[in-house]
């Protein structure tokens, strides 16, 4: 008798390195789906796949990819929060399913959670919360939230905050970190004062070229700050970069940074310091936790995927890339038989930029239908897109 050991791999792992070979192994096919392979895949997804001829090599139906794991996602159980997908509880991180991002203004319960360390205790007196401005300034400041409201213009803007790792779960090979899909984004109404007004009141020196941000959240070890990032002074002086103290007209929830947080829209959300209490103006880039190396940075030249790199040739991630999501139809939705037209809508955004066009495909990218894209209500807000797509028959379709 001979015995052998075989390591079972998930569907995602099978397709990771050689999608065409994986096709041959899983579906006994290479190239276009047809015959028994097509019937097998149709049976697996629960219906015919009318546009299978257009599916690219290595294609895994979304319905199968989402069910590849033995267990489905774990959901957050927290008072005041929607049913978010839990990515980790130490530190606490949870993302929002796309169908919960259908509002033009993201409600607080639907706002994703991104933490780097411990959540601090609530401030006993929010109005007395102090924020220091120091470093390369002529007049260091120590201002309470009450001072900010009295001394500076209070503004309200719809602003996007997006985690720098949004979409990481789609990287091949897999990248380290929280495996966000597309739900690490929110677009709430933030009320506060412009950071530039406060910095100008402190008197910026010519040497003030960068910022360093600080908050009251501790690292999980209890040793130092959980995260402390900074940005170029140009972004700090943007009209939409705020010191915010209200979210959707209400005090900011504790989990989202009460009583005050920075909102740095269009750039990685890690810059939007929660539990914000101090900002330094610096002549050189900040060297806090979360800066340098490969943290929140991207290559300036191609590198071998999966290789080790110390980030010496990287630059800071700043303006976030263009992205759009479908929000009115949830993954796995079953429509009535005979449906031939679907109204679709969603959100689109592009960091500091404005989205000009959005197109939708139901035939695996062979053809595309232009959608209507609304202008943003203000800069750095996401934009609503909407339209309709036609289906030729019943069956399994993916909306791309």
Residue boundaries of the structural domains of the chain: 11-66, 114-164+187-316, 323-390
Q: Supply the pLDDT for residue 88.
A: 95
Please name the fold of domain 114-164+187-316.
Sulfite Oxidase; Chain A, domain 2 (3.90.420)
Residue 345 has pLDDT above 60, yes or no: yes
Bridge partners of residue 89, in order along the sequence: 92
Angle at 165 between CA 180 and CA 71, to 5 degrees: 15
Top CATH class of 323-390 equals mainly beta
Taking residues 253-275, report their average pLDDT: 98
Q: Is the pLDDT of residue 1 over 70?
A: no
CB of 270 closer than 8 Å to CB of 296: yes
Give the pLDDT confidence score for residue 4 in this predicted structure. 42
CA distance 295 to 228: 12
In which element (H, E) is residue 17 found? helix 11-17
**Could you tell me the pLDDT band of residue 150, with boundaries at 50, 70 and 90?**
very high
Largest CA distance in the chain: 85
pLDDT at 327 over 60: yes
Cβ atoms of 32 and 53 within 8 Å: the answer is: yes
| pTM as predicted | 0.90
Helix (H, G, I), strand (E, B) or coil at 234: helix
The reply to whether 323-390 shares the fold of 114-164+187-316 is no
How would you class 315 by CB atoms within 10 Å of its CB: exposed for 0-12, middle for 13-18, buried for 19 or more? exposed
**Segment among 64-73, 103-112, 388-397 with least mean pLDDT:** 64-73
Name the band, by pLDDT with cuts 50, 70 and 90, for residue 309.
confident
Cβ(359)–Cβ(370) below 8 Å: yes
User: Average per-residue pLDDT in the chain?
Assistant: 91
Give the per-residue pLDDT at 272: 98
Q: Is the pLDDT of residue 245 over 80?
A: yes
Q: Output the pLDDT for position 215.
A: 98
Q: Which residues contact 304 (CB under 8 A, 6 or more apart)?
A: none
């Amino acid at each position: 008798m001979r015995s052998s050991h075989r390591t079972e791999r998930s569907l995602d792992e099978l397709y990771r390195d050689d999608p065409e070979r994986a096709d041959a192994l899983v579906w006994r096919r290479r190239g276009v789906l047809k015959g028994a392979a097509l019937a097998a895949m149709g049976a697996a997804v629960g219906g015919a796949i009318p546009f299978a001829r257009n599916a690219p090599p290595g294609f895994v139906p979304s319905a199968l990819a989402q069910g590849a794991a033995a267990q489905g996602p774990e959901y957050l159980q927290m008072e005041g929060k929607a049913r978010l997908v839990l990515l980790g509880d130490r530190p606490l991180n949870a993302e929002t399913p796309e169908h919960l991002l259908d509002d033009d203004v993201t409600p607080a319960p639907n706002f994703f959670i991104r933490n780097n360390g411990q959540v601090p205790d609530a401030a006993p007196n929010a109005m007395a919360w102090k924020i220091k401005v120091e470093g390369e300034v002529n007049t260091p400041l120590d201002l309470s939230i009450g001072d900010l409201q009295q001394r500076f213009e209070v503004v309200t803007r719809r602003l996007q905050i997006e985690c720098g790792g949004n979409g990481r779960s789609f990287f091949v090979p897999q990248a380290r970190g929280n495996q966000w899909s597309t739900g690490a984004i929110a677009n709430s109404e933030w009320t506060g004062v412009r950071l530039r007004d406060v910095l100008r009141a402190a008197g910026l020196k010519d040497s003030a070229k960068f910022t360093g941000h600080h908050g009251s959240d501790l690292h999980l070890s209890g040793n130092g700050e959980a995260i402390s990032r900074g940005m170029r002074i140009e972004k700090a002086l943007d009209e939409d970069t705020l010191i915010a103290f209200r979210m959707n007209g209400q005090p900011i929830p504790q989990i989202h940074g009460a009583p005050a947080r920075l909102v740095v829209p269009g750039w990685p959300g890690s810059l939007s310091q929660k539990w914000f209490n101090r900002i330094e103006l610096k002549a050189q880039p900040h060297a806090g936790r979360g800066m340098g190396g490969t943290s929140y940075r991207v290559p300036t030249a191609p590198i071998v995927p999966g290789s080790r790199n110390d980030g010496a040739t990287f630059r800071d991630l700043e303006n976030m890339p263009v992205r759009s999501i479908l929000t009115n139809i949830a993954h796995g939705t079953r429509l009535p038989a005979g449906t031939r037209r679907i109204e679709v809508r969603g959100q689109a955004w592009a960091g500091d930029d404005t989205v000009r066009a959005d197109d939708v495909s139901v035939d695996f990218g062979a053809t595309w239908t232009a959608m209507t894209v609304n202008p943003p209500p203000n800069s750095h807000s996401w934009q609503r897109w909407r339209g309709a797509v036609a289906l030729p028959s019943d069956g399994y379709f993916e909306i791309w």
